[in-house]
Amino acid sequence: YGSYRRYAAKQCVSQLKGVHQASVLDVGCSTGILLKEFLRLRKSWDVRGIDIDPAAKEKAPEGLKDKIVIDDFLTHKFQKKFDVITFSFVIEHVLDLNGYIQKAVDLLNPGGVLFICVPDVDTPKAIQQGVRWKLVNDPRWKIGHLRWFNPSSAFYLAKQYGLELKRCHHMGELFYHFSVPCQNFLKKVLGTDHTGER
């Protein structure tokens, strides 16, 4: 989880090569974990987050509380545009997908980066685990996904909103490219994480 946030921030920073001052908006920022990673990489950047959960700001570390706004992204009146906007495991939950994407596009500065991370139903892990995949039907995860994405839908969204898709990448899925017997052998030899998976 932590390595994913570092990866996301690095990907966004790499798209803005040579930019020393930039502004970031993390939509659905929770307690600001991704904001913290941006600041770790670029202390001079102006990072902001928005979330609908009041507990997000309350539970955020002291240095991030003042960077988080509790409000609805669609109705919030932003006073500026941003160089980077992130949706990290957010848009699969929203009712008005088009409204979210369009507002983000409208809030981006020219040459800005819209970073979207979603579960991909076409990954080897999703296909192998089927209804057991925790992002579909695990009783431990009441996550309320309203829609599902794959690389084709990423290309479609980019085209629909006049965006250039720079990269579509799966993270942490290499293990599931191995056959199931090979996976079981590796789990036995190397052990598993706290979820009992890889």
- Band the pLDDT of 1: cuts 50, 70, 90: very low
Tell me the mean pLDDT in the region 103-125.
92
Two structure tokens written together for 42? 């670029």
DSSP E strand boundaries for 11-128: 23-27, 46-51, 68-70, 82-88, 108-117
Q: What gap in Å lies between CA 147 and CA 142, rounded to an integer?
A: 14
Q: Is the pLDDT of residue 177 over 90?
A: no
Write the CB contacts of 23 (distance below 8 Å, at least 6 apart in sequence): 45, 46, 47, 48, 80, 81, 82, 83, 84, 109
- Band the pLDDT of 179: cuts 50, 70, 90: confident
pLDDT tens digits, residue range 17-70? 878 899 999 999 999 999 999 999 999 999 999 999 999 999 999 999 999 999
**Higher per-residue pLDDT: 171 or 77:** 77
Q: Is the pLDDT of residue 86 over 90?
A: yes
pLDDT tens digits, residue range 127-148? 888 877 777 665 655 667 788 8
Share of the chain above pLDDT 70, in %: 90
